[in-house]
Structure 1
Amino acid sequence: MTSEQLRAFLQVAREGRVSTAARGLGLSQSGLSRQLQALEAEVGARLLVRTPSGAVLTDAGERFLPHATRALEAMASGRAELERLAGTPRGPVVLGVLPTVGAFLAPDLMAAFVPAHPEVRPRLVQDHAPVLEEGVARGTLDLAILTLPVRRVDLVTQLLWDEPLVLAVPRGHRLTRLGRPVALQELTEETWVRIPNMVGTRAVEAACEARGVTPKVALETDTAEALGRMVERGLGLALVPRLMAKDAPAHGFDVVALARGSPRRQVALVHRGQGSLTAAARVLKDAITDSVKQHVAR
């Protein structure tokens, strides 16, 4: 069996759908299905069953899952040892990022990293924090940049930065003209655009619940770029991290500060431990720290 087959199996087990897993791995659905069929032929058992609601692990698949995870970890450790002997970082490295990090930090990071390390083949996977955390734990991601807290105690967590949330509003909005920070309690009657499961989304929901009202949501999206464009077009307000709002004038919306005591988010780099990182993952880890110093923590 190959590492590609094991990654295919773990990705489907994590996502629950072959189509979603294929997109995450950069494969066609037919290509991913061939990987799974080859793996099942190798182990001599059916590992997954497709149902109308998604892909479900069989009993054999459930039993095989922890072994597949450990096998990938062992292969990564062995590759890291060989790379240490060779002295040159090379090969694939998979980095999971939050939507806002993918849009507003990753371009600067990769623009510096890729020319400096031509032997390394980075791949970005964008998702929400719980999914990224699970991807690191299962070995389908080498590194992830996600929001704290991290639930799993077996992962290594390095705080990268701490930032406030701010309010993104259409140009010329009345809240801009107030000329002062606003409290979340003042915003419970506003209309919102949002990304599900973001820190800002949960903060708005909590503020509305405290006032006994339901948030008015114009639409939801899963990309930071789309969120900013929707605010720009006047569909609603968005509670976003400061990272996303640093270039607000270029994106066509205004930024309003929140009052003291409003929510913040902590962003961390997560991996399975230094010994599990390949040389390629280690140099990317160092590059992430340097990029944060240059583009965020200043």
Structure 2
Amino acid sequence: MDESELRAFTALAREQRFTRAARSLGVSQPTLSRLVQRLEKQLGAKLVVRAPQGVVLTDAGERFLSHAERALASIDSGIAEVSELAGEPRGEVKLGALPTINAYVLPPVVAAFHKAHPAVKLIVHEGFSSTLEAKVVRGELDLAIVQHPPKSEEVSALFLWSEAHWLAVPPNHRLAGSKKPIALQALIDEHFVVIPGMPGMRKMEEICAAAGKRPQIALETENLESVRRMIEAGLGISLVPALMARDKRWRVDPIPIAGGVVSRDVGVVHRGAGYLTAATRALRNAIVAYVKSQKF
């Protein structure tokens, strides 16, 4: 068996559909099928079966998957060591990031990194902390910028920065134009536009619960631009991290929260030093250097 067969099988196990797995590897679906069939023939066992909901691993497939992943991790580690000897990072790095990080931090980092290391191909995935952490653990991502500390004990983490949350309101809101910090207790009866999992809303839920109420959610969305535009249309208010609050496109300046009671810590996570290729290590160093230069 060869590396391409192992990568085909692990991609299919991860994506659970031939079309998505083939796309992730940059090969055709027939090529992916042939690679998996060749591997099954060498092992003398069926590894996957098609089902209405997608691809399902057989018992043999479940047992072989961890061995295939360890073998590929060992190959990648060897490639990393040879790459370091060559002195020039190369290859592919898969980076995950929270939506606000992807929108407001990564553009200058990625642009500078690409200029410094043109032989490295970067792939950026956007998502929420729990999802990104799980992908790092499974080896689907090399690095991820998530809320710190991570919930998983299977990743290594490096703290990057801490930032407060601010209150964003519509132009005709009673608090529009206020420069005075606002207490969260004053927002109990407001309608909110939220991104699921944001630390600000978790604090708001606690305050509402203490008053025997629940936050009134007007809209949930995963799109940052949608949050801003919905607020400005008058749908509701939102607690946004400082990165987003500094966006010059707000029609009304966001308002500080009294006492700094809402904040988030941000860090970068990976599986461990043994899994860091030269390219991955170079990207992590670039992220850390950028954060220090910006004094987050």
TM category, shorter: 0.7 to 0.9
Q: More displaced, 103-112 or 201-210?
A: 201-210
- The Cα shift of 1:152 comes to 2.6
CA contact (8 A) 2:5 2:39 kept: no
Q: More displaced, 144-153 or 13-22?
A: 13-22
- The Cα shift of 1:78 comes to 0.8
- 1:70 corresponds to: 70
- 1:267 corresponds to: 266
Letter in 2 for 1:269: V
Listed one character per residue, the Cα deviations across residues 24-63 of structure 1 (whole Å, up to 9, x for unaligned) are x486xx9468536633541354545565556544433332
Task: Give, in whole Å, the separation in 1 of the partners of 2:73 and 2:169.
Answer: 45
Q: 2:40 aligns with which of 36, 39, 43?
A: 43
Task: Give, in whole Å, the separation in 2 of the partners of 1:293 and 1:21.
Answer: 38
Q: Secondary structure at the match of 2:157?
A: strand
- 1:146 corresponds to: 146
Q: Secondary structure at the match of 1:121?
A: strand
- 1:137 corresponds to: 137
Superposed, which structure 2 residues align to 1:1-298 within 5 Å? 10=10, 13=13, 25=24, 31=28, 35=32, 38-39=35-36, 41-44=38-41, 45-48=45-48, 56-247=56-247, 249-260=248-259, 262-295=261-294, 297-298=295-296
- The Cα shift of 1:250 comes to 2.1
Task: Give, in whole Å, the separation in 1 of the partners of 2:141 and 2:177.
Answer: 44
Task: Give, in whole Å, the separation in 1 of the partners of 2:50 and 2:211.
Answer: 44
Task: Give, in whole Å, the separation in 2 of the partners of 1:15 and 1:187.
Answer: 42
Q: More displaced, 11-20 or 175-184?
A: 11-20
Listed one character per residue, the Cα deviations across residues 208-254 of structure 1 (whole Å, up to 9, x for unaligned) are 3333323222222222232222223222212121111122x324343
Q: Secondary structure at the match of 1:150?
A: coil
Task: Give, in whole Å, the separation in 2 of the partners of 1:256 and 1:164.
Answer: 11
Q: Secondary structure at the match of 2:169?
A: strand
CA contact (8 A) 2:22 2:32 kept: no
CA contact (8 A) 1:8 1:32 kept: no
CA contact (8 A) 2:178 2:255 kept: no
Task: Give, in whole Å, the separation in 1 of the partners of 2:6 and 2:210.
Answer: 46
CA contact (8 A) 1:79 1:278 kept: yes
Structure 1 residues 37 and 128: CA distance shift in structure 2, 3 A? farther
CA RMSD after TM alignment: 2.9
CA contact (8 A) 1:231 1:253 kept: no
Structure 1 residues 61 and 256: CA distance shift in structure 2, 3 A? farther
Structure 1 residues 32 and 161: CA distance shift in structure 2, 3 A? farther
Aligned residue pairs, count:
293
Structure 1 residues 235 and 46: CA distance shift in structure 2, 3 A? farther
- The Cα shift of 1:108 comes to 1.4
Structure 1 residues 177 and 212: CA distance shift in structure 2, 3 A? same
CA contact (8 A) 1:10 1:140 kept: no
- The Cα shift of 1:9 comes to 5.4
- The Cα shift of 1:271 comes to 1.0
Letter in 2 for 1:166: W
CA contact (8 A) 1:109 1:287 kept: yes
Task: Give, in whole Å, the separation in 1 of the partners of 2:151 and 2:268.
Answer: 14
Q: Secondary structure at the match of 2:227?
A: helix
Structure 1 residues 192 and 49: CA distance shift in structure 2, 3 A? farther
- The Cα shift of 1:71 comes to 2.5
Q: More displaced, 145-154 or 106-115?
A: 145-154
Gaps of 5+ in 1: none
Q: Secondary structure at the match of 2:175?
A: helix
Structure 1 residues 21 and 41: CA distance shift in structure 2, 3 A? closer
**What is the TM-score normalised by the length of structure 1?**
0.85
Letter in 2 for 1:277: L
Structure number with larger C-alpha Rg: 2
Structure 1 residues 38 and 110: CA distance shift in structure 2, 3 A? same
- The Cα shift of 1:185 comes to 2.2
Q: Secondary structure at the match of 1:182?
A: coil
Structure 1 residues 205 and 47: CA distance shift in structure 2, 3 A? farther
Gaps of 5+ in 2: none
- The Cα shift of 1:3 comes to 5.8
